[in-house]
Amino acid sequence: MIRDLIFDVGNVLLDYRWKDMMMDHGLSEKEAVETGTRMFTSPLWELMDLGTVPESDIIRQYEKDFPDDAEIITWFLTHGELMHVARPDVWKRVHQLKEAGYGIYLLSNYCENLFRKHTQDADFMKDIDGMVVSYEVHFIKPDERIYRCLLGKYGLHAEECLFYDDRADNTAGAERAGISSVTVRSKAQLLGSLDARLAAPVPPARAFPAQPSHTYQQNPSGEDSGLKPPLL
């Protein structure tokens, strides 16, 4: 019986308009796609999500690695409030699922600056029972340890959880941790899945509340994360 729903943020609870954002700043569509591909596929992007190197140092390294893109990348990373787009129809379902009795949790790869900008006015934050974000624990999906951080922190049972993420490698990581998962391919598919969950029998209340663990694993230095800080 599924009792707890775990959501990624980007391309699940929020849309991103990164290409339009770059085009608004003067790039052609081709230039925006090429610049975004270089930025997002660089190890620096995941290092930023890991939260072990100051964002200002990562921006300086981006400028060194991609001098021709330095101005647009710096502008992009310092204007993250222009990147995200609300999904109120998804948020409505999340609220309904919360009222139906499901636990609502977040598990997302994010740097602190962008996470705060993207969630500070989001209605779904009022419905969550807990969250683990990569910059806080210094693990990133699909590392199995970040899923176990969430389970341990809130005393959740993997077999009672369902995880929504837009990346197949992240849902595969959840499955390795024993968590059933849905890979989100489109907003329409996500809405259909949430509507089906709303139409399903409501999970009965637990006989005993979930008990958080005081030994859930964190990674203070990012050690063994698979990402090595560059020479800044």
* E-state strands within the chain: 4-7, 14-16, 84-86, 103-108, 130-133, 161-165, 180-183
Residue 203 confidence (pLDDT): 75
Residue 207 confidence (pLDDT): 57
Residue 224 confidence (pLDDT): 57
Angle between helices 88-100 and 187-199 (to 10 degrees): 20
Residue 214 confidence (pLDDT): 44
Adjacent-strand bridge partners of 108? 133
Q: Taking the model in full, what pTM does it have?
A: 0.89
- DSSP string computed for 132-149: EEHHHHT--TT-HHHHHH
pLDDT in tens, 24-44: 999 999 999 999 999 999 999
Below-70 pLDDT ranges, the chain: 205-232
Domain boundaries, the chain: 4-14+86-199, 18-82
Residue 222 confidence (pLDDT): 58
> Is CATH 3.40.50.1820 the classification given to domain 4-14+86-199?
no
Q: How far is it, in rounded angstroms, from Cα 148 to Cα 216? A: 7
Residue 178 confidence (pLDDT): 98
Residue 202 confidence (pLDDT): 78
